[in-house]
Amino acid sequence: MNKVFRLSSLIFGIVFFAVFMTAACVAYYMTAGVFVTANLAALYAVLGALGALAIMFRRYLFASFFYTGCALGWATGHYVSTLKGDFAPTAGVIATFFLIGAFSLVGLILEWGLFRRRSRKKAEQRQAEREAEERRQQALLADQQAKAEEARQAAQEAKKAEEAESAPAQQ
């Protein structure tokens, strides 16, 4: 039976969640000079939980692209937010979530490709096993038919031999 997730991947996911939350809060504190707000902490928790779930379900390719998108999105968003202009903070948030979404989409597409490849491989393996079983069944049936034919021929020969022995005795 193929387990959906294992204890080791659960622990690994929890560790990644804790590291992500710590890194996000520390990075915000170092750049903004104040501790994160509750709304921002909730956003970090949701993002961290998404990455941890990907790790827990052993979708490492998606998780790596997701965390890369989070890091690059944060760096880009921070840079764009520091530019001059009224729209700069909003553009920073847009840039952040665009990069997170783009990298997540790439990771999701790659995971889907791996899933399809694995599914196709398993289907081919099942088909090969089914064909081998059918060949084995046909060989077994042919062997049984050959044995039945041999037994029938032996019975006919025994009957002929018995008839040959009894025919001179009757005359």
pLDDT at 93: 86
Scanning 57-87, the segments in alpha helix (DSSP H) are 60-81
Per the domain annotation, does 162 fall within a domain? no
Per the domain annotation, does 121 fall within a domain? yes
Per the domain annotation, does 148 fall within a domain? no
Rg (CA), the chain: 35
What mean pLDDT is reported for the chain? 87
Per the domain annotation, does 170 fall within a domain? no
How confident is residue 28, by pLDDT bands cut at 50, 70 and 90? Answer: confident
Per the domain annotation, does 156 fall within a domain? no
Please report, to the nearest 10 degrees, the dihedral formed by the alpha carbons of residues 18, 78, 30, 32 taken in order.
Answer: -110
At 106-120, the pLDDT tens digits run 999 999 999 999 999
Q: Which amino acid is at 162?
A: E
User: What's the rounded mean pLDDT across residues 128-146?
Assistant: 91
Per the domain annotation, does 50 fall within a domain? yes
Residue 77 in tokens:
């968003």
Give how far the C-alpha of residue 104 lies from the chain's centroid of Cα atoms, to the nearest Å. 16
Question: Residue 92's domain spans which residues?
Answer: 7-126
**What is the number of structural domains in the chain?**
1
Per the domain annotation, does 154 fall within a domain? no
Per the domain annotation, does 167 fall within a domain? no
The three-class DSSP label of residue 33 is coil
